[in-house]
Chain A
Amino acid sequence: MSVTQTRTWRQVSACVRTHTAQGEGFRWLELEMPEGFETPVAGQFAQLLLPPPSPVLLPRPMSVASARRSRGRLLVGFLYAPVGTGTRALAALEPGAHVEVTGPLGRGYPLEEPGTPILVAGGRGVAPLLMAAEALSRARRRCEFVFGARTKALLVGVAGARLRLSRMGSRLHVATDDGSRGTQGTVIDVLERLAPGLEPPLVLHACGPHGMLAAVAEWAMARGARAHLAMESVMACGTGVCRGCPLPRSHAARDRVLAQGASANALQGNPEWAMCCTDGPVFESRELDWERVS
């Protein structure tokens, strides 16, 4: 972890290129970014602000689901669920409309970490992991992709993912709580089944509901595997200044921050709480106190 991160995020006005329905209740949004917007990495997020008149005041944090270049232009994709006032208003934007985007924000997945990568997605948490799979394949690394949801309708983008993963030589493993697709059970059941056949060390990259992430973290810690989990929090600034997005640090992380003392980065220097937006959103399992994560 570098002590002084250089900040490269910007706020720019981006143009809606594509905006379509995807799966049951999801939307796919692709924005054309102007020059000067740095290419995001998997696990990073952006703050999306609606054009005026917006029904909400603050921007909404959204994981980057894809970043590609087309005719020299950077296109950044988001996969989201319209769940409230802001995301529903976002869903109404037509191609050609503009959105203010602040990013790329936060720290992404350390995909370069050695080991056999297992990507674990829960529901709409699939967004950053599709991008992680692409990045691994560009680095010629195979991965196991575990995708869980309550029911098959919530396996958003599963068909496309299967195709792309198989082209990369990776495997998709599906689990649903109700057994409507794949294994009946949770992603943990799939991990249990897969792990014995994989070459250690295992390194997990996951995103999904906090309950699922806590289970993945516990599973990884019990096996001495490393797990990197993309967390969420209500946010205001997204840039580390408001101190509004705390997640509870583990005892070990707390002791480490205290030991670093004055040499710790100020943004990371709170022994009690890590900030989701700047210390994360991706955290290694041992960094957080999962009992206190809400």
Chain B
Amino acid sequence: MSHSERSAPRPIAAGRVDLRVRIGTLELRNPVLTASGTFGYGDEYAHVVDLTSLGGVVTKTVTVEPRSGNAPARVAETASGMLNSIGLENVGLARFRDEKLPRLAKLRATVIASIGGETAEELETLLAALGASGSVGAFEVNFSCPNVAAGGARYWADPARLEQTLRRLRRHTARPLIAKLSPDVTDIRETARACEAGGADAITAVNTFVGLAVDLDRMGSRLGRATGGLSGPAIKPLALARCHEAASAVRIPVIGSGGIVTGRDALEFIAAGATAVQVGTATFVEPGAAPRVVAEMREWLAARGLARLDDLRGRFSATAAQEPAAPVAAESTR
């Protein structure tokens, strides 16, 4: 049957679109999360964004001890994107638990706490302290920071290490464990499968791509360290490819991240197999980007009569160019 033979979809009211999704045992109101490191600890934006309108807030990666971060320059804009070399500056476990989590709980946000460590032991310490906290809905383990000397993306690119570490972490919490992966690996399917085997409930694909910006006048890097992590619209096609690969390799949900600015961007990740998405750099441009993405997703689906996100998930087919898989995109809204 060809595309044109199907009947045109009948629009439904936007309010009828059910955007709820599940990450392990955690149900999210909608699939839009803030990306770690781009929304602070959530409370910084609470006066302009209703945190309960989001699927959840992924907090800045927290480590056992506070970290001061890297020397400047820490950010540099590049074509349609930005490089960052923050170096995991964060307030440390104690203050995160005692100050930040109570504030987020008061704001009634669904909190996904991002944790980072140089060793499996450090991650265990974090989960031992936070794993039973009533204010954390899930944990995202940052296995993919490109900007630290030790315990960064390179260290965690080893599938065996990922699997063993997740097995150890699994013992410390009943909450969903999400493994956030680096795109800078030969085959993300291998790291994703290792996480699934180790007991992860979901994968986030992907963190920033390692990038370099050269200042010819100073013959040096535009950042304080040689390289940084590239984010923003520039990486969307790259991130989509990694996300699609990861989603096709595992049964657990995949959360897409990389260059998402609009509802359509988010839906492209869902169509490519993601269950949820994260909005990062777009928030620096527009503090209200994440709730706008939710609204745009809802409108797009309603205009096509799609009442559930599942009607779209994974509908993308690698051979769609020859044989349209389904008449989902009846007309363009933008």
Contacts and interface: CB of A to CB of B under 8 A. Distances in A.
A234 B44 contact: no
Interface in B76-115: 76-77, 80-82, 84, 86, 89, 91, 94-95, 98-100
Given A58-B285, A100-B286, A242 B48 contact: no
Contact of B69 (A8, A10, A236, A246): A246
Contact of B84 (A8, A242, A266, A270): A242
B75 A234 contact: yes
A57 B95 contact: no
Interface stretch (B1-9, B34-42, B158-166, B314-322): B34-42
A217 B73 CA distance: 22
Interface in B277-306: 281, 283-288
B324 interface: no
Contact of A240 (B40, B69, B81, B82): B40
A102 B100 CA distance: 24
Interface residues of A, number: 37
A235 B75 contact: yes
A49 B286 CA distance: 9
A143 B295 CA distance: 52
Nearest to B73: A234
Interface in A230-263: 233-247, 262
A246 B44 contact: no
A23 to B, nearest CB: 26
Interface in B48-89: 48, 60, 66, 68-69, 71-77, 80-82, 84, 86, 89
A233 to B, nearest CB: 7
B285 A59 contact: yes
Nearest to A265: B99
Q: Is the interface of B mostly helix, strand, loop or mixed?
A: loop
Interface in A24-64: 49, 56-59
A245 B72 CA distance: 7
A103 to B, nearest CB: 11
A278 B84 CA distance: 18
Contacts of A262: 94-95, 98-99
Contacts of A8: 47
Given A11-B286, A11-B288, A57 B98 contact: no
B284 A58 contact: yes
Interface residues of B, number: 41
B68 A234 contact: no
Contacts of B89: 243, 270, 273
Given A269-B91, A273-B69, A243 B86 contact: yes
A262 B98 CA distance: 9
B152 interface: no
A240 B286 contact: no
A193 interface: no
B31 interface: no
Contacts of A247: 72
A247 B224 CA distance: 12
A241 B285 contact: no
A271 interface: yes
Nearest to A293: B72
A177 B108 CA distance: 58
B86 A11 contact: no
Contacts of A49: 285-286
B6 to A, nearest CB: 34
Interface in B129-167: none
A272 interface: yes
A70 interface: no
A233 B73 CA distance: 8
A271 B95 CA distance: 14
B233 interface: yes
A241 B38 contact: yes
Contact of A244 (B39, B75, B100): B75
A271 B68 contact: yes
Nearest to A54: B285
Contacts of B286: 11, 49, 100
Nearest to A8: B47
Contacts of A272: 68-69
A138 interface: no
A266 B95 contact: yes
B69 A266 contact: no
A7 interface: yes
A246 B288 CA distance: 24
A152 to B, nearest CB: 27
A245 B74 contact: yes
Nearest to B287: A11
Given A58-B77, A272-B68, A273-B68, A242 B38 contact: yes
A294 interface: yes
B313 to A, nearest CB: 29
23 contacts: A6-B47, A9-B48, A11-B287, A57-B77, A57-B232, A57-B285, A234-B72, A234-B75, A236-B284, A241-B39, A242-B284, A243-B69, A243-B86, A243-B89, A245-B72, A246-B72, A262-B95, A262-B98, A266-B91, A269-B91, A270-B66, A271-B68, A273-B68
Interface of A: 6-11, 49, 56-59, 100, 102, 233-247, 262, 266-267, 269-273, 294
Given A239-B45, A246-B72, 14 more contacts: A11-B287, A57-B281, A237-B284, A238-B284, A239-B287, A241-B39, A241-B40, A243-B37, A244-B86, A245-B75, A246-B74, A266-B91, A270-B68, A270-B89
